Amino acid sequence: MSFSSISTPSTSITSNPFANILRKQTSTTSTATRDAPYARLSRASIESLLSPKPLTFQETIGFSTLPDQIHRKTLKRGFEFTLMVVGEHGLGKSTFINTLFMTELYADRPPTARLHPPKTVEIETRTVELEEKGVKLRLTVVDTPGFGDGMNSTECWKPILDFIDQQFLKYYQAETSFGIERKYVQDQRVHCCLYFLPPSIRGLRPIDRDFLHHLQHKVNVIPVIAKADTLLKSELTALKKQLLSDIDKHGVQLYDFPEGDSEQDEDSQSLDKT
């Protein structure tokens, strides 16, 4: 029993009956394009003719004042900023905050509080209204006395993490509740956390790694070497290098400062000079 093969006739491109028609149309199109009056225009001229032009009005509609309206509304309402400071006792956290915002935020704190820190982590909040050149700032500082001061510092980050989660929950409930306008909702979420490191360390300690790992996805963490003026320049450089190496080694994510524009850079340089 033999099998017969069925072959499909091949179609040659040259035998295509439409090939001559296509070539004729292409030739006709190129000739028409060459003879068209706009064919002599340059590419830039054609793009300028096709690009849309903004409409200008003789009278003011009002949307040009939107930036000024938003600016005035923001200045009238003011800004809210919650800053958390975390670190062991005696690292100069209170002095740093008072110097940074040029205010006596801890003036009413009794001197005995500095001599006898709590054995467990506590959460203290202080709020102050600041104003600079017409700009109002409602500053809330969250202090964590007792962090790292106990005999057993295991999980001393837990009360801090619970507080941050509670602030997130309160803000969410206020935003989603009925009958409360959003302009009356106060943002008490922790926006930034300054983590103070002792100048005597030679790298990240277990307590530092645990704290940073658990809070890196909850809040913007900025490490600060406390009392850095007690170190030599070479010692400070070596400590920074070691800390950055440990941070990269353990996969710790810190707050990445954005690159400002040229005007912001000039303003920052002028502030540094003053």
Residues 123 and 229 in one domain: yes
Which residue intervals of 40-192 are DSSP H helices?
Answer: 43-50, 66-77, 93-101, 112-115, 158-176
The pLDDT of residue 22: 46
Structural domain count of the chain = 2
Is 190 in contact with 219 (CB distance < 8 Å)?
yes
Q: Give domain status of residue 61, yes or no.
A: no
What pLDDT score was predicted for residue 11?
Answer: 43
Cα distances from 176 to residues 57, 182, 187, 237, in angstroms, run 42, 9, 13, 48
Domain match, 170 and 205 both: yes
Degrees, nearest 5: CA angle 194-109-100: 35
Record the pTM: 0.69
One-letter amino acid at 227 equals K
Q: What is the CATH number of the domain that holds 180?
A: 3.40.50.300
Q: Is residue 105 part of a domain?
A: yes
Indicate whether 150 and 175 sit together in one domain.
yes
* Domain hosting residue 247, numbered range: 67-256
Does the residue 264 lie in any domain? no
**pLDDT class for 139, splitting at 50, 70, 90?**
very high
d(CA 246, CA 217) in angstroms, rounded, equals 18
Q: In this structure, is residue 20 part of a structural domain?
A: no
**Do 108 and 215 lie in a common domain?**
yes
CA distance 118 to 42: 79
Same domain, residue pair 211 and 128: yes
Instruction: Specify whether the backbone of 203 is left (phi greater than 0), alpha (psi in -120 to 50) or beta.
Output: left
Residue 205 lies in a domain: yes
User: What is the mean pLDDT of the segment spanning 128-157?
Assistant: 87
Question: What are the tens digits of pLDDT across the range 90-130?
Answer: 899 988 998 988 888 877 666 655 556 676 788 999 999 99
Provide mean pLDDT across the span 203-207.
Answer: 94
| DSSP 8-class letter at 189 | S
Asked whether residue 46 falls in the same domain as residue 151, the answer is: no
- 83 and 37 within one domain: no
Compute the mean pLDDT over every residue in the chain, rounded to the nearest whole number: 78
| pLDDT for the residue 83 | 96
Asked, for residue 13, whether it belongs to a domain, the answer is no
On whether residue 1 sits in a domain, the answer given is: no
